[in-house]
């Protein structure tokens, strides 16, 4: 699974950074970065929760 962010939709609310800080972080300009785009299987439940919790639906998971 690969994590994607739609930068045109993302408002950097940082909900995802609180739920999966190993995967998501905000840079100094308050842009969302996906620092671990292909999280290991043991993290997928938290990543899925973060994706579902995005208030702007700017995150997605794609099969590779």
Mean pLDDT confidence for 29-54 = 97
Give me the residue label for tokens 């100094």. Answer: 28
Rounded to the nearest 5 percent, the helix, strand and coil shares of the chain are 30, 20, 50
Compute the mean pLDDT over every residue in the chain, rounded to the nearest whole number: 96
CA-wise closest residue to 59 among 1, 20, 7, 22 = 7
φ, ψ at 24 (rounded to 5°): -120, 145
HSE at residue 18, side-chain half, CA atoms within 13 A, is: 6
Please give the Cα distance from 35 to 17 (Å, whole number): 11
- Output the pTM of the full model: 0.91
Encode pLDDT of 18-31 as tens digits: 999 999 999 999 99
């Amino acid at each position: 699974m690969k994590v994607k962010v739609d930068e045109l939709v993302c408002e950097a609310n940082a909900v995802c950074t609180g739920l999966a800080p190993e995967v998501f972080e905000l840079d100094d300009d308050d842009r969302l970065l996906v620092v671990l785009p292909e999280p290991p299987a043991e993290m997928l439940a938290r990543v899925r929760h973060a994706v579902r919790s995005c208030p702007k639906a700017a995150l997605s998971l794609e099969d590779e």
